[in-house]
C-alpha cells in the first residue's frame, strides 16, 4: 500500500467541510430536538421509559456488533486511498458477521435482564436499527475520507426528516410503541441504502472490491482496544438506564430518558467536527506541528461551544424542560441541569479519542473507558436506591469526567494531548460558570435571559481568547465565497 498525499489547498477544503457539517448537523439537531419533544409528549413518561430501556439494552451490545472497526477503516482508507474499495468491503463483511452473531446473543440473554414477554419483538427491530444496518453504512465512510461529508450529512438529514414525519403520523394515529420502533428501524434502513448506494454509484471506491484476509486480521488487531473501549462506553452511557429499569420503574426512567435525550442532541456537534478533521489528523499524524495545530483547533472550537450551551442551559433548565416536554416532565429539570455538564466531557473525549487513534495510541482508550464503566456501575449501585434518577445523573458526570479527561494524565504518551485540551477548556469553563451565575440571579423572562446569556458568553469568549477573531474572520470569508482566494490555508 502507498500513502496518499495531502490535497492542495487543504485548509480551504477542510473549513468548507466543517462549515457544511455544522450547518447540516445544526439542521439535524433541530429536527432531532423536534422528534425528541414530540416522542416524549406522545408516548408519555412510562412508555418513553420503556422505549429508552429497549434501546439502552441493545446499545450495550453495539461494541461487539462493530468491534470498534469504523475509525480503523477510516484511518486506513485515508492513508491508503487507492485500496479504499477493498478496505471498506472487507470491513463491511467483518461487521456483518459480528452484527449477526451479536443480535442473536442479545435476544437470547434479554430475559435474564428483565426483558421478557412481548418485548422480544421490539428488541429485534431495535437490534436491526442499531446493529444489522451498520455494515451497509460503512461504504459511505469514503465521503469522510475524501472530505465530501455533505453526502453523508444529506443522507442523515433525509433520515431525520423521515423520522420526524413518522412520529407525527404515528402520534395522529395513536400507534403503539411497536410501530414507533418499527418506523425508526425503517428510517435507519433508508439511510444505510443511501450511504451504500451513493458510495458505489459515485465511483469513489476503486475496484477491485476484494476481501483482504491479511488486512482483515490487522483490522481486528487494531480495533480490539477500540472494541473494549466501546464496550465500556456503552456500559457507562447506557447501563444507568438499564439499572433504573431494573431497580426503579419505567415512570421514573421516563423522566430521566427525556433529560438524556435533550442533552445528547448536542453530541452531534463534536461528531460533525471530528468527522471533518479525522482524515487530516490521520494524514498529519507524523508531523508533530501540523497534528497539534489541528488538535488545538478542534479543542478550542468544541469546548467553546459546549460550555456556551452549559452557561445558558443550566440556569434556564426549569422553564426549558417545561416548555419542551410539558408540566408532567417537571422532575426532569434538575436532571437535565446536572446532566448537561457531562456533554463537556463527551466533547473533550471525542477530540482526544480521534487524536489518539490517528497516532495509533488507541490501546489507552480501552483502559480509560473500562475504568469509567466500573466507576459508573459502582456509583449507580449506591446512588440509584438512595437518589433515583438524580443519583444516576451524577454517577454519569463523574464517570464521564474520569474516563474522558483525567485518566489520560496517568499515561505519558497521552498526557501531552490531555493537558493541551484541559488548558484550552479551563477558561471556557470559568466563563460558563460566571454567565450561569448571572442568569440564575437575573429577573428577566426566559427569552431575554436566553439572549442575555448568549451575548455575555460570546463577548466574554472573544475577550479572553476562548474564541479567536482570526478564525471567525476566516470562517466568515469561507462561508461568504467558498473561493480559493479566501486563502484559508491554515487553521
Distance CA 187, CA 162 (A): 6
Per the model's pLDDT, the better-predicted residue between 168 and 240 turns out to be 168
Q: Please, are residues 71 and 275 in contact by the beta-carbon 8 Å criterion?
A: no
**Does the predicted model carry a pTM greater than 0.75?**
no
pLDDT at 481 exceeding the cut of 60 = no
Q: Please, are residues 236 and 229 in contact by the beta-carbon 8 Å criterion?
A: no
pLDDT in tens, 105-116: 988 888 877 776
Share of the chain above pLDDT 70, in %: 83
pLDDT at 216 exceeding the cut of 70 = yes
Distance CA 78, CA 282 (A): 7
Buried b (16+ CB within 10 A) or exposed e, 208-233: ebeebeebbeebbebbbbbbbbbbbb
pLDDT at 7: 47
Find where cell 433548565 sits: 317
> Would you list the domain boundaries of the chain?
10-481
pLDDT in tens, 282-306: 777 778 888 888 888 889 888 998 9
pLDDT at 435: 93
Instruction: Please compute the mean of the pLDDT values over residues 20-30 and round it to a whole number.
Output: 71
* Helix ranges, 67-174 (H): 70-79, 84-109, 119-127, 134-137, 141-145, 150-173
| Three cell numbers written together for 288 | 508533530
Exposure on the CB side of residue 321, measured as CA atoms within 13 A: 29
Write the secondary structure of 438-479 as one string of H (helix), E (strand) and C (coil): HHHHCCCCHHHHHHHHHHHHHHHHHHHCCCCHHHHHHHHHHH
Distances (CA, A) of 409 to 141, 370, 403, 413, 422: 32, 16, 11, 9, 10
| Three cell numbers written together for 341 | 455538564
pLDDT at 139: 79
DSSP 83: G
Distance CA 245, CA 238 (A): 11
pLDDT in tens, 360-396: 887 888 788 888 888 988 998 888 888 888 888 888 8
Amino acid at each position: 500500500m502507498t500513502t496518499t498525499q495531502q490535497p492542495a489547498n487543504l485548509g480551504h477544503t477542510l473549513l468548507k467541510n466543517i462549515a457544511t457539517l455544522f450547518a447540516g448537523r445544526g439542521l439535524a439537531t433541530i429536527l432531532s430536538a423536534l422528534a425528541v419533544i414530540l416522542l416524549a409528549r406522545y408516548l408519555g413518561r412510562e412508555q418513553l421509559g420503556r422505549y429508552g430501556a429497549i434501546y439502552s439494552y441493545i446499545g450495550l451490545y453495539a461494541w461487539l456488533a462493530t468491534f470498534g472497526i469504523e475509525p480503523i477503516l477510516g484511518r486506513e482508507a485515508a492513508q491508503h486511498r487507492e485500496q479504499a474499495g477493498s478496505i471498506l468491503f472487507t470491513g463491511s463483511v467483518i461487521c456483518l458477521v459480528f452484527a449477526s452473531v451479536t443480535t442473536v446473543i442479545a435476544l437470547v440473554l434479554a430475559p435474564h435482564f428483565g426483558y421478557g414477554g412481548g418485548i422480544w419483538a421490539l428488541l429485534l427491530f431495535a437490534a436491526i436499527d442499531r446493529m444489522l444496518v451498520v455494515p451497509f453504512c460503512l461504504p459511505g465512510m469514503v465521503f469522510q475520507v475524501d472530505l465530501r461529508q455533505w453526502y453523508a450529512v444529506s443522507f442523515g438529514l433525509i433520515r431525520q426528516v423521515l423520522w420526524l414525519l413518522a412520529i407525527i403520523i404515528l402520534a395522529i394515529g395513536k400507534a403503539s410503541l411497536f410501530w414507533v420502533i418499527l418506523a425508526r428501524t425503517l428510517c435507519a434502513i433508508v439511510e444505510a441504502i443511501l450511504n451504500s448506494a451513493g458510495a458505489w454509484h459515485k465511483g469513489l471506491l476503486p475496484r477491485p472490491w476484494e476481501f483482504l484476509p491479511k488486512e482483515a486480521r490487522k483490522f481486528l488487531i487494531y480495533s480490539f482496544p477500540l472494541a473494549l473501549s466501546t464496550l465500556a462506553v456503552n456500559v457507562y452511557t447506557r447501563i444507568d438506564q438499564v439499572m433504573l429499569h431494573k431497580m426503579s420503574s419505567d415512570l421514573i426512567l421516563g423522566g430521566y430518558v427525556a433529560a438524556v435525550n435533550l442533552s445528547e442532541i448536542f453530541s452531534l456537534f463534536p461528531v460533525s467536527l471530528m468527522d471533518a478533521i479525522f482524515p487530516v489528523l490521520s494524514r498529519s499524524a507524523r508531523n508533530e506541528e501540523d497534528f497539534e495545530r489541528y488538535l488545538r483547533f478542534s479543542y478550542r472550537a468544541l469546548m467553546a461551544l459546549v460550555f456556551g450551551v452549559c452557561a445558558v442551559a443550566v440556569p434556564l433548565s426549569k422553564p426549558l424542560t417545561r416548555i419542551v416536554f410539558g408540566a408532567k416532565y417537571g422532575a426532569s429539570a434538575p436532571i437535565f441541569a446536572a446532566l448537561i455538564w457531562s456533554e463537556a466531557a463527551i466533547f473533550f473525549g471525542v477530540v482526544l479519542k480521534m487524536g489518539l487513534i490517528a497516532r495509533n495510541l488507541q490501546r489507552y482508550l480501552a483502559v480509560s473507558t473500562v475504568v469509567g464503566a466500573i466507576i459508573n456501575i459502582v456509583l449507580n449501585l449506591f446512588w440509584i436506591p438512595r437518589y433515583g434518577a438524580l443519583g444516576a445523573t451524577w454517577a454519569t458526570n463523574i464517570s464521564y469526567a474520569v474516563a474522558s479527561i483525567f485518566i489520560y494524565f496517568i499515561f505519558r504518551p497521552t498526557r501531552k494531548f490531555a493537558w493541551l485540551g484541559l488548558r484550552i477548556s479551563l477558561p471556557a469553563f470559568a466563563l460558563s460558570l460566571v454567565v450561569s451565575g448571572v442568569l440564575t440571579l437575573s429577573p428577566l423572562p426566559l427569552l431575554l435571559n436566553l439572549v442575555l446569556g448568549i451575548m455575555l458568553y460570546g463577548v466574554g469568549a472573544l475577550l479572553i481568547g476562548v474564541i479567536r477573531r482570526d478564525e471567525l474572520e476566516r470562517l466568515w470569508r469561507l462561508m461568504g465565497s467558498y473561493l480559493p482566494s479566501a486563502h484559508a490555508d491554515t487553521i
